Amino acid sequence: MKWINVTLAAALLAVAGGGVAVADTSDKRIALSNNYAGNSWRQAMLRSWESVTGQAVTDGVVAAADAFTTAENQVTEQAAQIQNLILEGYDAIVLNAASPEGLNGAVKEACDAGITVVSFDGVVTEPCAWRIAVDFKQMGKDEVLYLAEKLPDGGNLLEIRGLAGVFVDDEISAGIHEGVAENPQFNIVGSVHGDWAQDVAQKAVAGILPSLPDIVGVVTQGGDGYGAAQAIKAAGRDMPVIIMGNRHDELTWWKEQKDANGYETMSVSIAPGVSTLAFWVAQMILSGQDVPKDLTVPFLRIDQDNLEENLANTEAGGVANTLYSAEDAASVVAEAKAM
């Protein structure tokens, strides 16, 4: 990750904007509104934000980039948080939302107050806001497509979902079920919520296993693969193909099994550093750039042949990650405009 000074950032953004004059943002204040921090992905997302925005503040790109996380994953609590940020006079709010529709009223209040709102990961549907997301539905479907390649005879699957009621959980699950519908050799015989956390997933899987027939695969959402493996091992069952979610503990376990017995799987998730892309997009909008309302970034996939490289670059307790620079944001915006 390389840092660029304010002058260079402005030049890059001017190029991305087709030569449009760029306003100085050194007096602008950007806030992060986050609805949940109870797993390793969210912690890595917050660390990514702090790392990139802290340097941007030091470099004078913006005056402040403060992060706020609600105590519970509740729409009403996050709506109140957004209203407080409006009263505190922030120029932009970068938002990881508890609900795609439930926060639209608070988001519209922010827009009406002249505040730029950029949602990411958990995006909102309010038209005045910007959205940065991966195709979560395709991500879920890709898990089943991988299993169809690896296990052409099919079999029973266990689904581990994420945090109930959240857009991301619904989309990934929809993709998984679409993939199964197109590959009827598979059958989902059980579904539990793991909340994207290995300890929650381990307990949930341990609780449902006694009621399940033999399973050949576990489709997941991230942060749950290692917990599933521990529960299945404790139950004395044959180890199925567990799709992993780019967490360090998952990649470490996978590497140990690969070395011991040639275990094969794949791992996929959105990079937690997408928060840093959302920051730079907000900064671009504040500087007067024309940015499309919907931006899509690829999910980060790890396969058998690049496991070791990705594990080596993932911090203990963290998640495989990509941090975005101002240059990266300019490229993402330029690509979206060219489509």
Angle between helices 326-338 and 6-16 (to 10 degrees): 0
The Cα 312–Cα 45 span in angstroms is 19
Residue 312: Cβ-neighbour burial (10 angstroms; 0-12, 13-18, 19+): exposed
Domain boundaries 6-134+271-300+319-338, corresponding CATH code: 3.40.50.2300
Q: Would you state the pLDDT for residue 6?
A: 41
Residue with the larger pLDDT of the pair 139 and 18: 139
Model confidence at 33, in pLDDT bands (50, 70, 90)? very high
Q: Would you state the pLDDT for residue 287?
A: 98
pLDDT digits (tens, 9 = 90+) for 278-321: 999 999 999 999 999 999 998 999 999 999 999 999 999 899 99
Q: What are the DSSP E strand ranges found in 15-106?
A: 29-34, 64-69, 92-96
Prediction pTM value: 0.84
CA atoms within 13 A on the CB side of 117: 30
Q: Would you state the pLDDT for residue 167?
A: 84
The Cα 181–Cα 179 span in angstroms is 5
**Quick check: 196 and 221 in contact, CB under 8 A?**
yes
Q: Would you state the pLDDT for residue 21?
A: 52
Domain boundaries 136-269, corresponding CATH code: 3.40.50.2300
Angle between helices 104-112 and 75-87 (to 10 degrees): 10
Q: 128-167 burial string, b = 16+ CB within 10 Å, else e? A: ebbbbbbbbbbbbbbbbebbbeebeebbbbbbbbbbeebb
Q: In the predicted model, is pLDDT for residue 144 greater than 70?
A: yes
Proportion of the chain above pLDDT 70, given as a percent: 94
Domain ranges of the chain: 6-134+271-300+319-338, 136-269
Across the chain, mean pLDDT equals 93
Look up tokens 């439930």; give the residue: 102
Model confidence at 266, in pLDDT bands (50, 70, 90)? very high
CA atoms within 13 A on the CB side of 159: 22
CB atoms within 10 A of CB 214: 10
